[in-house]
């Protein structure tokens, strides 16, 4: 090789190396941008890899050049004896650049997959939400603020053995009065609300004849608070009848009182506001007629005026506030098994739950009580809006629960589907729901929303079809009809399908096959497992096919309310964040339970008539809800084992904050190493929130023994070691430095 040759080769190699380096870097960044990983300079490993390859090019390419020039072109020259001295330089260069670009890009891409260095990805912005089911008295006697139980005399033995229209009511004749009471159903307030009480006052004596209702284990009153009373009365005999309304205390003393006088032989609504003179956790509502005559009474209601956001027909402030404090990104409603119901006649029909409350169609609750549906679809949508959560209504897939007539424990008489000739009307109901939520105020169903006081749309984007349904032909045929109609009329709506009641098995597998085949956007997985299952299964979603349906983990819980359970759930939730690109939504279940009226344990929030008792599991949900992000980074924390020591790292583009969540489910202090080199402009100060304690502690009582998150502050450097207390969940949160 002549001096000239060497010089030429070196120059060519340098140009080739620089061009190929630039091209491969550009290619890599473009790939990353398309994949959603952005042009982040923290991909320093990518830069490093390119530099290595440039050095490699300098060292190795002179030899390749020589070989190419001396062999390939020599042979070509023999075969085609044309003069291509200049072209050969260009061709050599082209071959080198192409080969090197491909090699560099390939190696960088491979590194981005396999590297132990940080990889980032976008994750769902709706990831953590709540699952509301009317189970455990979550609606009537729970979130719904109505204080009167069985307000419209519709309880029946079908709801619960021994129940009847008088359940929760007491006929009272103080002061030697007498009369009688009966239930009637001719000419009711509304045909959907057939039963009412007829009160005959034969002799009112000094104190009258009437009715008493003590709500759900006593009506709670707060001194100075006001309560909105309302009643429908029709005068059947006699002239104007004075009726006294009282709130009486646990001791029988009158706490608040008002009077109305009947003046119509047609159903008329009377209202009054009562102000509590004293706080009482177990008061009663007394309605007492004080003149001879006969009156019909229905829809007797007492609401605290102080409902959540002061909405009429609203929600209990304390319970709604506790849910809102989770900052859930969505609310699923109204269930669970409640959705598909106990027999076809018991399927949840959303249209029965809107409009004036006295016109709604009530029905038995699959969990062994009654649904007044006073908390209906309008109120659910309104609550979602009030707390900034996406609504996720779930409707039956036109089949009833496979356990109908039995229970989820013992099984039942099997799944039934609506007759196919009824499917047209049923599908229309589903489509009407979307119009009710999203249609303009002058559309048929949008007008009903507007009439309820909400002319603007609720911006529904998800709709669930079915809940844990058996994957039978009956189910599939109906699901397919509904799903295809939804997609045809509302292509932007994401349908959430169902894949059974366990994390694996036949229903699960068949559900996924069917969901994929139907191209359902999201599939709803449910699992109630032991805490250790949650520790062991943190890689569950790592291998899920990213090109198929996304996942909604619609119901999960680790069968207990101890700190240990809560930490296992927290560890699992870090893996949900890690897989937030495929897991779109996740919600612990069930959400609410009234103490003394539970059909299911454990639950996230317990309550009674006066208090709310968030569990430790609740605080885990709350901490995730309040510290969510939309971009996930791997490998920021080292020293984990993805089981009992787990972590996730996210950033939130709204606040610019960086959030680390680290869980230690071991009984010893554990040190991890944190490397924040990939993040620029972070404040040194971090907020530290820790939930820790003895593993078997439970919280659902009021008291000082409760485990609550403890917030402190710290200062950190780019890399640091962090000690995790035994049995702890730690969140570290940094703000961005302000730009001035």
Q: 357: which DSSP letter?
A: G
Residue 308 corresponds to which tokens in the numbers above? 């959540």
Q: Which is nearer to ligand AHR, 308 or 479 (CB)?
A: 479
Binding of ligand AHR at residue 572 (CB under 6 A)?
A: no
549 sits near ligand AHR (criterion: CB under 6 A)? no
Answer yes or no whether residue 555 interacts with ligand AHR by CB under 6 A.
yes
Among 199, 337, 430, 707, contact with ligand AHR (rule: CB under 6 A): 337
Distances (CA, A) of 104 to 24, 25, 47, 100: 6, 8, 11, 6
The verdict on 501 binding ligand AHR (CB under 6 A) reads yes
> Least CB distance from residue 575 to ligand AHR, whole Å?
22
- # residues near ligand AHR by CB under 6 A: 14
589 binds ligand AHR (CB under 6 A): yes
Q: DSSP class of residue 190?
A: B
Give the residue with the Cβ less far from ligand AHR, 377 or 734.
377
Q: Are 250 and 312 in contact (CB under 8 A)?
A: no
497 binds ligand AHR (CB under 6 A): no
- Report the candidate in 264, 260, 259, 210 with the shortest Cα–Cα distance to residue 234: 264
467 binds ligand AHR (CB under 6 A): yes
Which of the residues are catalytic? Answer: 468
234/1 Cα distance (integer angstroms): 114
Q: Which is nearer to ligand AHR, 53 or 467 (by Cβ)?
A: 467
Among 73, 408, 544, 720, binds ligand AHR (CB under 6 A): 408
x/- map, 599-618, ligand AHR, by CB under 6 A: -x------------------
Residue at shortest CB range from ligand AHR: 336
Q: Which two tokens stand for residue 286?
A: 């007394």
Distance, in Å, from the CA atom of 369 to the CA atom of 167, rounded to the nearest integer, reads 12
Locate 254 and state its tokens.
């009158």
- Residue 468 beta carbon to ligand AHR: minimum distance, rounded to whole angstroms: 5
Minimum CB separation of residue 367 from ligand AHR in Å reads 8
Compute the least distance from the CB of residue 528 to ligand AHR, in Å: 7
410-419's contacts with Cβ under 8 Å and 24+ in sequence apart are: 415/469, 415/470, 415/472, 415/474, 415/475, 416/343, 416/344, 416/474, 417/344, 417/474, 417/475, 417/477, 417/478, 418/344, 418/478
Kindly give the pairing relationship between strand 522-528 and strand 494-498. Answer: parallel
Two structure tokens written together for 690: 């820790």
As a three-state string, the secondary structure of 315-355 is: ECHHHHHHHHCCCCCEEEECCCHHHHCCCHHHCCCHHHHCC
For position 390 contacting ligand AHR by CB under 6 A, the verdict is no
Stretch that binds ligand AHR, among 276-284, 331-339, 369-377, 531-539 (CB under 6 A): 331-339
- Smallest distance, ligand AHR to C-beta of residue 573, A: 18
Q: Hey, what are 125's tokens?
A: 């912005």
Site for ligand AHR in 510-529 (CB under 6 A): 526
Interface residue with ligand AHR, options 208, 334, 515, 590 (CB under 6 A):
590
- Beta strand extents in 9-165 (DSSP E only): 120-122, 128-131
Which lies closer to ligand AHR via its Cβ, residue 580 or residue 590?
590
According to the binding rule CB under 6 A, does residue 335 interact with ligand AHR? Answer: yes
Residue 52 has phi, psi (to 5 degrees) of -55, -45
Stretch that binds ligand AHR, among 185-193, 335-343, 418-426, 530-538 (CB under 6 A): 335-343
Do 247 and 211 meet the contact criterion of CB atoms below 8 Å apart?
Answer: no
Which residues would be at the binding site for ligand AHR (CB under 6 A)? Answer: 133, 135, 335-337, 408, 467-468, 501, 526, 555, 589-590, 600
């Amino acid at each position: 090789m002549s001096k000239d040759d060497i010089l030429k080769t070196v120059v060519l190699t340098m140009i080739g190396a620089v061009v190929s380096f630039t091209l491969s870097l550009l290619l890599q960044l473009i790939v990353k941008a398309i994949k959603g990983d952005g042009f982040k300079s923290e991909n320093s490993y990518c830069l490093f890899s390119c530099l290595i390859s440039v050095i490699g090019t300098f060292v190795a390419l002179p030899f390749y050049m020589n070989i190419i020039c001396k062999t390939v072109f020599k042979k070509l020259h023999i075969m085609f004896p044309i003069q291509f001295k200049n072209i050969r330089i260009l061709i050599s260069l082209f071959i080198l650049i192409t080969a090197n670009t491909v090699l560099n890009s390939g190696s960088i891409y491979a590194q981005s997959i396999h590297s132990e260095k940080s990889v980032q990805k976008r994750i769902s912005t709706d990831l953590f939400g709540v699952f509301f089911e009317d189970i455990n008295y979550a609606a009537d006697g729970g979130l719904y603020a109505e204080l009167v139980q069985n307000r419209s005399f519709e309880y029946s033995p079908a709801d619960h053995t021994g129940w009847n229209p008088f359940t929760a009511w007491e006929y009272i004749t103080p002061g030697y009065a007498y009369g009688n009471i009966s239930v009637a159903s001719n000419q009711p307030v509304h045909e959907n609300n057939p039963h009412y009480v007829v009160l005959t006052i034969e002799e009112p004596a000094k104190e009258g004849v009437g009715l008493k209702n003590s709500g759900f284990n006593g009506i709670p009153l707060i001194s100075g608070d006001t309560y909105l009373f309302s009643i429908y009365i029709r005068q059947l005999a006699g002239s104007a009848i004075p009726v006294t309304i009282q709130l009486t205390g646990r001791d029988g003393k009158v706490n608040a009182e008002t009077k109305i006088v009947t003046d119509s032989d047609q159903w008329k609504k009377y209202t009054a506001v009562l102000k509590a003179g004293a706080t009482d956790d177990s008061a009663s509502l007394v309605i007492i007629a004080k003149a001879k005559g006969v009156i019909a009474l229905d829809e007797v209601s007492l609401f605290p005026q102080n409902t959540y956001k002061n909405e009429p027909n609203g929600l209990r402030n304390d319970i709604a506030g506790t849910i809102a404090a989770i900052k859930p990104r969505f609310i699923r409603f109204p269930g669970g098994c409640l959705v598909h119901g106990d027999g076809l006649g018991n399927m949840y029909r959303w249209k029965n739950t809107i409009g004036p409350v006295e016109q709604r169609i009530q029905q038995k609750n699959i969990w062994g009580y009654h649904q007044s549906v006073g908390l209906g679809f309008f109120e659910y949508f309104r609550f979602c809006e009030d707390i900034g959560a996406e609504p996720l209504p779930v409707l039956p897939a036109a089949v009833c629960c496979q356990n109908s007539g039995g229970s989820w424990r013992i099984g039942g008489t099997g799944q039934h589907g609506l007759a196919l000739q009824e499917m047209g009307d049923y599908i229309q109901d589903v489509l009407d729901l979307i119009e009710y939520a999203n249609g303009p105020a002058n559309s048929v169903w949008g007008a009903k929303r507007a009439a309820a006081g909400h002319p603007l749309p609720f911006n529904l984007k998800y709709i669930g079809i079915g809940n844990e349904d058996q994957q039978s032909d009956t189910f599939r045929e109906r699901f397919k009809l509904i799903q295809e109609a939804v997609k045809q009329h509302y292509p932007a709506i994401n349908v959430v399908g169902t894949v059974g009641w366990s994390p694996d098995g036949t229903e699960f597998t068949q559900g996924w096959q069917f969901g994929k085949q139907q191209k359902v956007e999201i599939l709803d997985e449910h699992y109630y497992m032991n805490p250790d299952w949650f520790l062991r299964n943190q890689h569950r979603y790592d291998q899920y096919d990213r090109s198929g349906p996304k996942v909604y983990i619609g119901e999960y819980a680790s069968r207990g309310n101890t700190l240990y359970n809560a930490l296992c759930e927290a560890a699992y939730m870090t893996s949900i964040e890690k897989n937030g690109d495929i897991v779109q939504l996740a919600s612990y279940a069930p959400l609410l339970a009234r103490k003394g009226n539970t059909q299911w344990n454990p639950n996230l929030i317990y309550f009674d008539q006066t208090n709310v008792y968030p569990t430790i599991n609740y605080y885990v949900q709350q901490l995730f809800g309040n510290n969510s992000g939309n971009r996930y980074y791997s490998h920021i924390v080292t020293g984990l084992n993805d089981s009992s020591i787990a972590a996730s790292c996210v950033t939130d583009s709204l606040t610019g904050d960086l959030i680390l969540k680290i869980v230690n489910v071991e009984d010893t202090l554990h040190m991890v190493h944190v490397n924040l080199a990939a993040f620029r402009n972070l404040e040194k100060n971090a907020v530290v929130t820790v939930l820790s304690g003895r593993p078997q502690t439970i919280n659902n009582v009021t008291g000082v023994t409760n485990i609550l998150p403890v917030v402190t502050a710290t200062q950190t450097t780019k890399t640091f070691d962090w000690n995790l207390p035994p049995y702890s969940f730690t969140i570290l949160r940094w703000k961005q430095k302000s730009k001035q």
